[in-house]
Amino acid sequence: MAKQIKATGSNNNQPLFGKENYRWMLIGMILIVLGLLLMIGGKSKDPNVFDASQVYSFRRITVAPILILAGLALEIVGIFKKSKVQNPQ
C-alpha cells in the first residue's frame, strides 16, 4: 500500500518582500553607489607628486563612508521591515 504524505505547511503564496521593502532596499542601494562614486578619483597629473588634499579630502574621508553606512542601514531596514498584510478574499 502506498502512503500519501500531506504537506503540513500552509499553501501561502505571498511574496517574501512587499513593495515598500523593495523601495527601502533600492534607496539603500542608491546611497551605497553614491558613496562609492564619491570615493573614486584623486589621480594626480604627475605620478611623482603626492597631493594629500585630494586623497584625504572631506568628501572621501567623511561624506562617502557616512553615505555607505547609511545605505547599509537602509538595506537592513528594508529586509527586516514587516510588509503590510493584504486581506485574502
Task: Look at residue 53 in the predicted model and tell me its pLDDT.
Answer: 82
Domain range for residue 54?
Answer: 19-43+50-80
Residue count (the chain):
89
Q: Could you tell me what percent of the chain has a pLDDT over 90?
A: 48
Q: What angle, rounded to 10 degrees, do the helices at 64-80 and 19-39 form?
A: 160
Is residue 33 included in any domain, yes or no?
A: yes
Helix ranges (DSSP H) in the chain: 19-39, 52-55, 58, 64-80
- Domain total in the chain: 1
Instruction: Tell me the per-residue pLDDT of 44-61, one tens digit each, with 9 for 90 and over.
Output: 788 888 888 888 889 999
Is residue 11 included in any domain, yes or no?
A: no
